[in-house]
Amino acid sequence: MEPRASREALAIIAIVPERYPGDEAAHGQTASAKSVYSLDMVERREGPTGARKKIAIVGGGIAGVAAAWQLHETHEVTLFEAQPRLGGHVRTAEIPGDGTQTSATADLGVIIINTRGYPNLAALYQKLRIGLRPIALSVQAYFGPDGDHWGTDCHDTRLFREVEADCHTFQDSLMHRFDVPMTDFSVTLGAYCDRLGLSQVFREKALVPLLIVLQVTRGSLWETPVVFVRQMFRHGVLSFFAPPSGWVMIEGGSAREIDALSSTLGDRVRPQTRVRRVQRSQDSVTIHWDGGPPGGERFDDVILTCSLDIARMLIAEDADEVERAALDPKSFQYEDLQVFLHTDLDAVARGTPEPWLFQYNHTARGRSVTLNPTQRTLGAGAAPTPLVTYCFDADATPAPDKVQERVTFSHLIATPASCAAAVGLRAINGRRHTFYAGHSCALPPNWHEGAFVSGLIVAQALGAPYPFRGDAAAERVFALMSMVMGVDAQAP
């Protein structure tokens, strides 16, 4: 069965440009697309600015915080977050100095961004004066005790020579002979590899290590629509033959973006407040939360930036048929990923990796990716540098006595059904005083940018102006995603 998505929504997806913002110059072209992909396309979606509203936002990830940041000056905003801290997938750990080494930070969730693929976030960092540092990112993969390995800057190995021909076939096909329409979510990565006749060794030992580092979906990697994998290769974000390009880190850690956005909200943020139920009436919504008033609290509108399984549960009491279909749990599935900050060198293949080298390890214990996210100065006799390890199998975890911090993130699995259903959310976004934003409204591969922009789109529908006018690259992404989301503050 074809993934569910409206003809109108897929027609919108079809105009997504083939290049990232800024690629025109790299290809000797002018930025003439600005006149086609502009804010004029979505100007009609701005909501009324006169009436001050009382707005509840459920979920304190990047989308919820962005919406609150935009709306708080013109509306009375309350941001509910079940956890003690804001940020969602943004999590920065502090690593104190000890006399032999300087202090540092380590990001456990969102670690790096690509400024070409994240133009709205790049504009935000400039606006808020958040420093960015270019990084020399590389990937190396190790398999078992026999030392089988290869890397994006390490090709003179037996393993790479074995898979090199397939690497060329796959990458050349994506770059020069790709014939899958952007609207076709049904062609998966696995099916595309089958079509090209690529070996199992290439798939498991070359493609998996490269994709697993930057692609959110892990457990169902082969179900990822290949159109999104193609974007990463086409724009130099990933390559078998050169280190990934265009990546930067946020100086001081990714949590700086959340801190900067939320610094103006004051007591409008309610951390450790778990919302249990959202009731809608003809002219308002009522929010019920643990420890709240027995009858809940009335708001004019609600923005749900939580995962869609939670959103479905919150509105279950009065959800109509259209909402139940759009939030079908069979379309949106999530998987957990365990992340560790630790000093267990036995958990990695070759000791402490160089800074910003993603080391993929596949051993008898399972699969993991380890990163050294610090660039601090180490003195003689310095303690081991804390590493960040992403564990995809339970037995691949570091020794408990060497773990400094552990966190579990829940990721939306990118499948044909989930991507089509994300587009299908336009059927309910803005209906019954209920808006949706967050990762579930975004399409891969730029999840974090998409989640941030979705918060800005909903804020504009409720009367807050778009903050990055004049930035052609950011405007283009905002305009395109606005049409995909289909948010309308005036919808019945």
What is the number of residues in the chain?
492
Indicate the SS3 state at residue 335: strand
Token duo for residue 413: 């699995």
Q: According to the model, what pLDDT value does residue 131 have?
A: 93
pLDDT digit of tens for each residue in the chain (492 aa)? 333 344 444 444 443 444 444 444 333 333 333 333 344 444 333 444 568 899 999 999 999 999 999 999 999 999 999 999 999 999 999 887 766 667 788 899 888 888 888 999 999 999 999 999 998 888 899 997 777 899 998 999 999 999 999 999 999 999 999 999 877 889 999 999 999 999 999 999 999 998 887 664 566 789 999 998 998 888 778 899 988 778 888 999 999 999 999 999 999 999 999 999 999 999 999 999 999 999 999 999 999 999 999 999 999 999 999 999 999 998 888 888 899 999 888 877 766 667 778 889 888 888 888 888 775 544 445 567 788 999 888 788 899 999 999 999 988 888 888 888 888 898 999 999 999 999 888 877 778 999 999 999 999 999 999 999 999 999 988 988 888 888 754 333
E-strand stretches of 236-322: 247-250, 269-270, 275-280, 285-289, 297-299, 301-304
Token duo for residue 344: 């267990």
Q: According to the model, what pLDDT value does residue 333 have?
A: 84
CA nearest neighbour of 56 among 85, 82, 28, 76: 76
Question: Cα 12 to chain center, whole Å?
Answer: 21
3.30.70.420, 3.90.1280.10, 3.40.50.1950, 3.50.50.60: CATH of 7-87+256-332+416-485: 3.50.50.60
Q: According to the model, what pLDDT value does residue 22 have?
A: 41
- Calpha distance 18→235 (Å, rounded): 9
pTM of the model: 0.88
Q: According to the model, what pLDDT value does residue 219 have?
A: 62
Nearby residues of 35 by Cβ (< 8 Å), 6 or more positions away: none
Residue 219 has a CB neighbour count (10 Å cut-off) of 14
Token duo for residue 214: 């930057």
Give residue for tokens 């079908």: 328
- Calpha distance 51→243 (Å, rounded): 51
Q: Sign of dihedral through CA atoms 46, 47, 53, 57?
A: negative
Asked if residues 469 and 475 have their Cβ atoms less than 8 Å apart, the reply is yes
Q: According to the model, what pLDDT value does residue 293 have?
A: 96
| Cα Rg, the chain, nearest whole Å | 23
Q: According to the model, what pLDDT value does residue 19 have?
A: 44
- Calpha distance 488→366 (Å, rounded): 47
Q: According to the model, what pLDDT value does residue 352 have?
A: 66
Q: What are phi and psi of 205, to 5 degrees?
A: -110, -10
Token duo for residue 23: 């690629």
- Calpha distance 458→446 (Å, rounded): 18
Q: According to the model, what pLDDT value does residue 458 have?
A: 96
Token duo for residue 212: 């697993």
- Calpha distance 334→18 (Å, rounded): 28
Cis peptide bond upstream of 445, omega within 30: yes
For the chain, the structural domain boundaries read 7-87+256-332+416-485, 92-137+248-252+335-412, 138-243
Indicate the SS3 state at residue 272: coil
